[in-house]
Structure 1
Amino acid sequence: MQGIEPKIHQEVIKRMNDLEQLLKQTPEPDRTHTDEIFMMNTELSALYDEYLSIKKRLETCIKLYRVRHVEIRKQLTQNIRKLRRETINHK
């Protein structure tokens, strides 16, 4: 999660800052960069949607990993207990 998510997060933040700067530079009545603002807003929305999608997939993977990890630990614990009982019984 730390490898993928920060890259997209940084890109979204960078684009948000770019859009914010463009809006600050352009006075309200004279929006000459309207097309540029619209394009940046569209791009920002797409980046944010991608960010949310990846975050959701990562969270799902983490949950599945956790479930599998717990299952394997239970199996290992049972096997260890069985082996201990067998070694104690053979002595």
Structure 2
Amino acid sequence: MSRYQQRPPLEGLRREIARARKEKSDGQKSGSFVRETYRLSRGAAREKAREWFSAWPKAAYWTEVESWRALPGEGDEIEFTMRRLPTAD
């Protein structure tokens, strides 16, 4: 094999994979979001969202309602997921 056909060194990729696996096993969540899913009546769902925005302001934590849906046949019940950053760094 000539030098032009050799595979590139993969040591950097190996180190990054090992680091990510170690963080995962240590329970660290670098840069990932905190998510919670709820199933509440429409009024309670609004109140829960307000609590999140009050406790973790959108500007600092990127807090948002990630998804929501009205559950069929469940009256006014809503299933929704709230998302935010773990810290405001």
Specify which structure has the higher proportion of helix.
1
TM-score of the two chains, using structure 1 as the length reference: 0.26
TM-score of the two chains, using structure 2 as the length reference: 0.27
Specify which structure has the higher proportion of strand.
2
